[in-house]
Structure 1
Amino acid sequence: MEDIEAFAQRLMSAEGSTREDYLQALEYLDIAVCEALAVGQAQAGRMAAPCVGYGTYLFARMCSHGVAAVRAVPFSRWVQSDHQEWGFNVLACHARALLEGNLYFHYFMQPTNDELDEGRARVTLLQLNDCTSRLKMFNGVDEQRVWYEQQRLELQERLRSIPYFQNLPPAVQSQCLAGKKAWFLDRAQLVELIGMDKAGFDILWDLWSQHSHIHPVSFLRMEPNGRGTGLECDPDRIYLAMAMVVSAGILGDATDKIVEVFPDVAGERKGLDSKFRPGPKRNRRR
């Protein structure tokens, strides 16, 4: 099978894609999902540093979106159907989630500065953001609101006591204490962290966001019996193929990182024959 990077470059330079290109992209995604699930299940339940532990939670969410993606696209072996839906919207939201989740996954898997207690700061900030979000959702429920308000105060105080946080610019500290940030890095810094071109990231983010929502780009160029109608057409087929290849690359890189941290699970990566449950019959453990 053609190298995934070479295949992606060929797709990007092409004006359209054939059914064969689409099926090859689907196989790349299928392999990536299978290997990610097998490796993820093999490392589950391990003791790890807190940041790595949260990184494995993020990896699990990425695997979930990977499964949803490979089940949503036409001609997937994961689903039996007498109808194929070719609208790019079936995949856009899951591809976008993987693009975003990949930033946060690598952020938590990065080494921390133990002298400044950076790992504890990362986890505390994450918990504070979660607490603040839940407080907004349950603001009308007195019992929940009182509990989350108390927890928020405790987390803010804990964050203020950590040397890593104390060394941050005052403006960043203010945003963090308000619960507006879940990560100390902004998006540009996170994109740089994973080594991705920011302009390329932004194009994918905007395109996939437009199709995840019902925004103008998702419907202004709909064509009778063509783009955006759910029927097979060149624009949606190439959008689907590119999103599958990028998603496969993201899952593959994340799986590499899990194997780097837990090297004993490397043998679980067996392509389409990787074993996990639940899943297609071919992949179930016996």
Structure 2
Amino acid sequence: MSDYKKTYNRFVVTLDRCKSTSSEKADIPSPTSSHYYSSLIFTKLCTSAESLLSICPSPTKIGKNAHWDCASAATLTRAIVEAYLVFYYICIEECEEKEWQARWRLLNLHDHMSRLKMFNVMKGAEEQVKQFEKYTPTVQSDLEKSEFFKALSEKQRDHYLKGNNAFFKSQDELIESAGGSVEEFRFRYRFLSNHAHSYPMGFYRMAESGRGTGVESKCEIGYTGLCLEWTTECLDKAQSEFVSKWGG
């Protein structure tokens, strides 16, 4: 209980600091596109973290029939971790302007193709599909015109023009660039994903571990504490980088 209390309180303090930082930068014109997106994604991080807080019982509710759901906490934590990687990639990691423009245009293509795929499986969305298909060559051409993209091999260009990838870097490359441990990240990400996707690890041994029913247990408290701890690390890093980017 004492460990959960410390973790929970540290999370609350960190989240409050992040929300204050976000509010301080509200309505300030963005000097670059990178600053603009940093503001958007940092806000998204704060919003998701606030949602995580809303489903994690406070230490004062331990032993008082609170609702515990570490699997849902893990799902939100995974989303926060992924959002941080996007934040780092498009807003924090230093790269030449030509590369940044290519990164942004690849994101645009990925967004375009994701929406097209969504409408393709939506009943009665034939008109939307036609409109997206009409502009696909334009979005692809926009990426093809970038100097960074032109320098890639033909095989790489063909691969990225499909719009299946949002980044030019792999997840492992991003983690290393951000100063993290790939091995540690892999453990955390797999742990969170097993709960987010309801894989067998997410529901096997529910009875033995006393989790998954909404009832308090050592496992529920421990896993929820892990989610809060990992999210705190993400928020703390993002807040420091955000402040540095915006000049204090």
Both structures adopt the same fold (TM-score exceeding 0.5): yes
Match of 1:123 in 2: 104
SS at match of 2:215: coil
1:59 aligned to 2:42?
A: yes
Task: Give the TM-score of the pair, scaled to structure 1.
Answer: 0.78
Matched letter for residue 243 of structure 1: C
Match of 2:146 in 1: 162
Match of 1:196 in 2: 180
Number of residue pairs matched by the alignment? 241
Q: CA deviation at 1:130?
A: 0.4
1:252 aligned to 2:236?
A: yes
1:206 aligned to 2:187?
A: no
* Counterpart mapping for 1:90-239 below 5 A: 90-108=72-90, 109-114=92-97, 117-139=98-120, 141-223=125-207, 226-239=210-223
Question: Is the CA contact 1:223–1:229 (under 8 Å) kept in the aligned structure 2?
Answer: no
SS at match of 2:206: coil
Structure 2: runs of 5+ lacking an equivalent: none
Question: Is the CA contact 1:50–1:123 (under 8 Å) kept in the aligned structure 2?
Answer: no
Assess, with a 3 A threshold, how the Cα gap between structure 1 residues 236 and 121 changes in structure 2: closer, same or farther.
same
* Structure with the bigger percentage of helix: 2
Question: Is the CA contact 2:65–2:215 (under 8 Å) kept in the aligned structure 1?
Answer: no
Distance 2:152 2:233 in 1: 33
Q: CA deviation at 1:71?
A: 0.8
What does the per-residue CA deviation read over 1:117-158, in whole Å, with 9 as the maximum and x for residues that have no partner? 122111111111001010111125232122212332111111
Q: CA deviation at 1:38?
A: 1.4
Q: CA deviation at 1:55?
A: 2.6
Question: Is the CA contact 1:127–1:155 (under 8 Å) kept in the aligned structure 2?
Answer: yes
Question: Is the CA contact 1:102–1:254 (under 8 Å) kept in the aligned structure 2?
Answer: yes
Matched letter for residue 119 of structure 2: F
Distance 2:229 2:53 in 1: 11
Distance 1:134 1:76 in 2: 42
Question: Is the CA contact 1:50–1:119 (under 8 Å) kept in the aligned structure 2?
Answer: no
Q: CA RMSD in A?
A: 2.0
Distance 1:48 1:142 in 2: 39
1:68 aligned to 2:51?
A: yes
Assess, with a 3 A threshold, how the Cα gap between structure 1 residues 86 and 154 changes in structure 2: closer, same or farther.
same
Distance 1:43 1:122 in 2: 25
Match of 1:11 in 2: none
Structure 1: runs of 5+ lacking an equivalent: 1-18, 265-286
Match of 2:22 in 1: 40
Name segments (4+ residues, structure 1) moved above 6 Å: none
Matched letter for residue 149 of structure 2: F
Distance 2:187 2:196 in 1: 14
Question: Is the CA contact 2:209–2:219 (under 8 Å) kept in the aligned structure 1?
Answer: no
Distance 2:82 2:31 in 1: 23
Matched letter for residue 152 of structure 1: T
SS at match of 1:178: coil
Question: Is the CA contact 1:51–1:122 (under 8 Å) kept in the aligned structure 2?
Answer: no
Percent identical: 26
SS at match of 1:263: coil
Question: Is the CA contact 1:225–1:231 (under 8 Å) kept in the aligned structure 2?
Answer: no
Decide which moves more: 248-257 or 233-242. Answer: 233-242
Question: Is the CA contact 1:104–1:190 (under 8 Å) kept in the aligned structure 2?
Answer: no
Q: CA deviation at 1:95?
A: 0.8
